[in-house]
Chain A
Amino acid sequence: SAERDPEKKMEEYAREPCPWRIVDDCGGAFTMGAIGGGIFQAVKGFRNSPAGMSHRLRGSVTAIKTRAPQLGGSFAVWGGLFSMIDCSMVKMRGKEDPWNSITSGAMTGAILAARNGPVAMVGSAAMGGILLALIEGAGILLTRFASSQFPTGPQFPEEGSSMPSPSFGDYRQYQ
């Protein structure tokens, strides 16, 4: 691939170094799913309840209590498995690029649909891969847009003084 410019260091998601990324992604995904599920289930429970404010509020709370942790759990499974595969690929390929994410998204989709048969696995893998490709593409576009808007590039703080270099730091330069 083309030589990446140093502005690529300005990754929007400053991610954790690799072994800890699994924990970080798993917990972040759980929180995200629980909060997001809470919001959506609140609306859904409110609308599906019988008329009357107290019924509606109680329905909303019940829906949140039953469904939000479930959604958080399935997000956490996805995020944890995703970054486990991601980290394995970082270790195996020795570099960190969008293909890692795309492949691990597809593999995560395939593994999680494994009990539904091969057809479902292929469909789910395609969905995961396409979704992760879109997300990575959006990230790249965003970075490019941001660096074209400020042609001098961002002023990095003093390298080394405030930035502790992690042991996995050398992967970052490929990102």
Chain B
Amino acid sequence: MPVAVGPYGQSQPNCFDRVKMGFMMGFAVGMAAGAMFGTFSCLRIGMRGRELMGGVGKTMLQSGGTFGTFMAIGMGIRC
């Protein structure tokens, strides 16, 4: 196993930091993915204007939360 050198220099980042960072990264990725796919699917079911904004925002938050949770677990099982 290579020695994991985290973003905090020599000190090994502890488990909670890694999980937190995984969640944040997953949340960001999920928000971006939700923005794309959410816009697509909301346009397809015929949302326009203000309704579209709400729909896309909801999809973004949902997929961000889901992704973040899974990424956090993925980080957690590896430390």
Contacts and interface: CB of A to CB of B under 8 A. Distances in A.
Decide whether A and B assemble into one complex: yes
B3 A32 contact: no
B36 A130 contact: yes
B3 A163 contact: yes
B77 interface: yes
B39 to A, nearest CB: 13
Nearest to A156: B5
Interface residues of A, number: 29
A79 to B, nearest CB: 10
A14 B33 contact: no
A135 B70 CA distance: 13
Interface stretch (A46-54, A88-96, A105-113, A142-150): A142-150
Interface residues of B, number: 24
Given A32-B70, A130-B33, A142 B10 contact: no
Contact of B33 (A35, A134, A139): A134
B29 to A, nearest CB: 5
Contacts of A142: 7, 21, 25
Nearest to A17: B2
A31 interface: yes
B25 A138 contact: yes
Interface string A23-42: 00000100111011001100
A28 B7 contact: no
A114 interface: no
B29 A36 contact: no
Interface of A: 10, 12, 14, 28, 31-33, 35-36, 39-40, 127, 130-131, 134-135, 138-139, 142, 145-146, 149-150, 154-157, 162-163
Interface of B: 1-7, 9-10, 21, 25, 28-29, 32-33, 36-37, 66, 69-70, 73-74, 77-78
9 contacts: A32-B70, A32-B77, A35-B73, A130-B33, A131-B29, A142-B7, A142-B25, A145-B7, A162-B3
